[in-house]
Amino acid sequence: MGQQQMMRRFAKWHIWLAWLAGVPILMWTVTGLIMVIKPIEEVRGNHLRNAVTERALPSDTEISVALPADSTRPVRSVTTQIERGETVTRITYMDGASDRFRADGSEMGPISEVEARMIVAERIKGGDRVADTARYDADNVPFDFRREMPVWQVALTDGTHVYVGEYTGEIEAVRTQWWRTFDFVWGLHIMDLQTREDTSHPILILFAILGVLASLLGFVLMFRRRKARKVKAA
């Protein structure tokens, strides 16, 4: 097979590969552009979080917290601080779960809807503008949360969803409208709109390979045609 004939065959392959890979390549470029428009800190809603000032405990504070004797859960950390005027000791376990205790050692139950609203109003800018609240079990959380833990969803009037852990009393996630746009675009980018977490699957790998092959053939054809023009000019 002559060199010219081989270049014509490469050109045909390049056209077909361009048709197959052109759409996903364009999609990757557009979605990538959208994802970098705003800093990731703003996407995550960090700019809406108020700095929490930790108040020093009184010097005469006495704390007594005891885990059940048969408890085998490994502990990650133990912290004590004043939360809304009350001394609270939080024990965080290695699995991410946590328990809260009062200064006298009594365990605190899950936070109420009113407490969830108070936490959001205190720690989120504009958190007092609440449109709705809802409680979700660990096995039925909203798609924009996607963590298996019971939470309160505090929906603000600007479309932001703030998730407060029912047992942790902490703001577990802030989901702005832009976050949801980013999340959808990310799903398109990795071609996984169902879970938006699988970054290695056959469809994505196939189109990535096709894109690479089309690019390589394009480079070969570009340099060969440039060389041919120089020969004719000479």
Burial label for 118, CB within 10 Å (0-12, 13-18, 19+), is middle
Residue 233: pLDDT over 90: no
Per DSSP, the chain holds a count of helices (H) and strands (E) of 5, 7
pLDDT, one tens digit per residue, over 186-229 is 999 999 999 999 999 999 999 888 888 877 777 776 666 554 45
Write the DSSP string, 105-151: SPBP----HHHHHHHHHHHBTTTT-EEEEEEE-GGG--TTT--SS-E
Measuring CA to CA, which residue among 153, 171, 195, 213 is closest to residue 25?
213
Q: What pLDDT does residue 13 have?
A: 66
| 196 and 183 Cβ atoms separated by less than 8 Å | yes
- Which DSSP symbol is given to 63? -
pLDDT, one tens digit per residue, over 85-141 is 777 887 878 877 777 887 777 778 889 999 999 999 999 999 999 999 999 999 999
Residue 230's pLDDT band, with cuts at 50, 70 and 90, is: very low
Measuring CA to CA, which residue among 114, 100, 77 is closest to residue 170?
100
Given the DSSP bridges, would you call strands 161-165 and 171-175 parallel, antiparallel or unpaired?
Answer: antiparallel
Residue 33: pLDDT over 70: yes
| 97 and 91 Cβ atoms separated by less than 8 Å | no
Q: Using CA atoms, how far apart are residues 81 and 64, in angstroms rounded to an integer?
A: 14
Q: What pLDDT does residue 228 have?
A: 47
| 14 and 89 Cβ atoms separated by less than 8 Å | no
Look up the pTM and report it: 0.76
Task: Using DSSP, state whether 27 is helix, strand or coil.
Answer: helix
Q: What pLDDT does residue 231 have?
A: 44
> 234 CB contacts (<8 Å, ≥6 apart)?
none
pLDDT, one tens digit per residue, over 161-188 is 999 999 888 899 999 999 999 999 999 9
- Please give the structure tokens belonging to residue 70: 């048969």
Q: Using CA atoms, how far apart are residues 106 and 24, in angstroms rounded to an integer?
A: 57
